[in-house]
């Protein structure tokens, strides 16, 4: 099993001996204009990131102007909507939970050089499995803690299975994980719709509002007056910490990285490569499933049609934005969650579509990636500085971010 990961071959970037890849080193003093200003490399990085952020803001502002909306009022509204009250802060956290869990799951697949586009479907399958368990147990006298534990475990299993399926298709069927994932996403959507409008439909007629809500004792306990569940938050933090440690401090994480960057060499080093590919999918699926399980047990208390709320795709964006570094993923996910929540009120207050947050989120990622390219060009470096999980960084399909309201 020594299949190479599909790599777009680009000239100076291809592995080609000691001649190509140039990793910049700290004290390098470029002769470019920027170099002469005497900025250190770290400061330059920050300057570029800040510049990217500003450019993204400008572009979004232009979009707003074209749409005939007052930009500053809109931004003010977003800030107010996100951090204006305890309620909104809690809502941001509620949105952060599934987003950060998915993002960390995706960091694992990215480490292995995989584009797990199927993460959306994995969230849905997690939600479906959790719903299934709760439906089976809600009429028995199983204690609530047991039912909830089983539901969340089942959610992880569901997400994991769905991800491994994409992995099996790749490892044994030769189906690129991007196509496999896309296909499985459609299947997952169809499955949850079928369940909502078919076998699990509400008494009377099925509706887009989802299945019949579970009795309140099967809800994960929430802070009083808020939609935030300490249990959901705790589970998310725990999962994120485990994955973060696994990626940075374990042989598992290191081997994943080796597989992701050079499958052939990893194999020769004695790493069972396809097992690691499957393991990466599995871990990401477990995380996505967990996110789906939390959405069902802690947020919606039922299965709704778009239960993933686009958090999977948003997680891909966050992972790209932080260039696959775990340390940055949590705060950036928080920022993105805040944008999501902050823009909820826009339609009501300013008659604007709440997808404005999506515009800003997408533009921001593009700007940061572009700024990275520009930085390298300005410093005269060949663009061979590898982005963390090499190939996924390049030639990636631009996907829309269907950002829907979290709540």
Partner 1 sequence: MDVEIRDIHKRFGAVRANAGISLRVTAGTIQGVLGENGAGKSTLMKILSGFQPADRGEILLDGRMAHIGSPADAIRAGVGMLHQDPMDFPAFRVIDDFLVGRPGGISLSPGQARRELQAQAEHFGFSLEPNREIARMTVGERQQLELLRLLWQGAGVLILDEPTTGISAPQRETLFAILRQLAAEKKTVLFVSHKLDEVERLCHRVAVLRQGRLVGEESAPFDTAQLVRLMFGKEIVVSAPRSTAREETVLTLEGIEVEDARLHVGPTSLEVRAGEVLGLAGMEGSGQSLLLRVCAGLMSPVAGRLLLDGHDMTHRPYRSFHDRGVAYVPAARLEQGLVPGLSLTEHVLLSERHRGPLIDWKRGRAKTARRIHDFNIRGEPDNTVESLSGGNQQRALLALVPDPARLLLLEHPTRGLDVESTVYIWSKLKQRCTQGTAIVFVSSELEELLRYGDRVAVLFSGRVSAPVSAALTSVEELGELIGGKGLEPAA
Ligand X SMILES: Nc1ncnc2c1ncn2[C@@H]1O[C@H](COP(=O)(O)OP(=O)(O)OP(=O)(O)O)[C@@H](O)[C@H]1O
23 binds ligand X (CB under 6 A): yes
Residues of span 384-403 touching partner 1 by CB under 8 A: 386, 388, 390
374 binds, among partner 1, ligand X, none (CB under 5 to 8 A by kind): none
Structure tokens at 353: 């579509």
Task: Count how many residues are written for the chain.
Answer: 407
Which residue number, 212 or 385, has a Cβ lying nearer to partner 1? Answer: 385
Measured between alpha carbons, how far is residue 297 from residues 2, 145, 154, 337, 359 in Å?
42, 11, 12, 20, 30
* End-to-end CA separation in angstroms for the chain: 45
Structure tokens at 32: 């470019």
25 binds ligand X (CB under 6 A): yes
Measured between alpha carbons, how far is residue 79 from residues 217, 242, 254, 303, 345 in Å?
35, 32, 39, 30, 11
265 binds partner 1 (CB under 8 A): yes
Which residue number, 15 or 370, has a Cβ lying nearer to partner 1? Answer: 15
Contacts of 106 (CB under 8 A, 6+ apart): 116, 119, 284, 312, 315, 316, 319
22 binds ligand X (CB under 6 A): yes
Nearest distance from C-beta of residue 101 to partner 1, angstroms: 22
> Smallest Cα–Cα separation from 384: which of 23, 124, 139?
23
Which residue number, 190 or 268, has a Cβ lying nearer to partner 1? Answer: 268
The angle that helices 86-111 and 311-321 make with each other, rounded to 10 degrees, is 70
- Residue choice 199, 331, 382, 395 for contact with partner 1 (CB under 8 A): 382
Residues of span 6-25 touching partner 1 by CB under 8 A: 9, 11-12, 14-23, 25
205: left (phi over 0), alpha (psi -120 to 50) or beta: beta
226 binds, among partner 1, ligand X, none (CB under 5 to 8 A by kind): none
Which residue number, 20 or 85, has a Cβ lying nearer to partner 1? Answer: 20
26 binds partner 1 (CB under 8 A): yes
400 binds, among ligand X, partner 1, none (CB under 5 to 8 A by kind): none
18 binds ligand X (CB under 6 A): yes
Q: Which stretch binds ligand X (CB under 6 A): 16-24, 217-225, 241-249, 377-385?
A: 16-24
Nearest distance from C-beta of residue 5 to partner 1, angstroms: 12
């Amino acid at each position: 099993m020594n299949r190479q990961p599909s790599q777009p071959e680009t000239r100076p970037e291809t592995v080609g001996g000691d001649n190509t890849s140039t990793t910049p080193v700290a004290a390098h003093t470029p002769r470019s204009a920027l170099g002469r200003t005497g900025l250190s490399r770290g400061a330059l990085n920050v300057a570029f990131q800040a510049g990217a952020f500003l450019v993204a803001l400008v572009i979004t502002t232009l979009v707003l102007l074209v749409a005939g909306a007052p930009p500053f009022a809109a931004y003010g509204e977003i800030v107010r909507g996100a951090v204006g009250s305890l309620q909104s802060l809690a809502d941001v956290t509620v949105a952060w939970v599934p987003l950060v869990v998915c993002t960390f799951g995706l960091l694992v697949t990215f480490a292995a050089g995989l584009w797990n586009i199927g993460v959306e479907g994995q969230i849905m399958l997690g939600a479906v499995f959790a719903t299934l368990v709760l439906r089976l147990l809600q009429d028995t006298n199983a204690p609530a803690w047991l039912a909830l534990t089983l539901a969340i475990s089942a959610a992880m299993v569901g997400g994991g299975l769905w991800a491994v399926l994409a992995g099996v298709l790749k490892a044994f069927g030769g189906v690129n994980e991007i196509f496999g994932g896309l296909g499985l996403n459609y299947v997952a959507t169809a499955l949850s719709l079928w369940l909502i409008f078919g076998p699990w439909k509400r008494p009377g007629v099925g509706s887009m509002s989802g299945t019949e809500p579970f009795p309140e004792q099967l809800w994960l306990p929430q802070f009083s007056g808020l939609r935030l569940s300490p249990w959901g938050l705790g589970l998310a933090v725990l999962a994120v910490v485990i994955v973060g440690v696994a990626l940075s401090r374990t042989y598992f994480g290191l081997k994943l990285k080796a597989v992701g960057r050079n499958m052939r060499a990893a194999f020769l080093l004695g790493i069972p490569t396809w097992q690691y590919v499957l393991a990466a999918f599995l871990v990401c699926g477990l995380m996505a499933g967990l996110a789906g399980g939390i959405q069902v047990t802690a947020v919606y208390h039922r299965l709704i049609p778009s239960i993933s709320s686009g958090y999977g795709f948003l997680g891909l964006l966050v992972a790209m934005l932080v260039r696959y570094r775990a340390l940055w993923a949590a705060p950036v996910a928080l920022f993105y969650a805040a944008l999501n929540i902050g823009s909820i009120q826009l339609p009501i207050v300013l008659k604007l579509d709440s997808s404005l947050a999506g515009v800003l989120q997408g533009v921001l990622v593009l700007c940061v990636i572009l700024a990275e390219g520009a930085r390298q060009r300005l410093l005269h470096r060949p663009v061979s500085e590898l982005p963390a999980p090499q190939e996924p960084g390049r030639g990636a399909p631009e996907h829309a971010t269907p950002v829907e309201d979290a709540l």
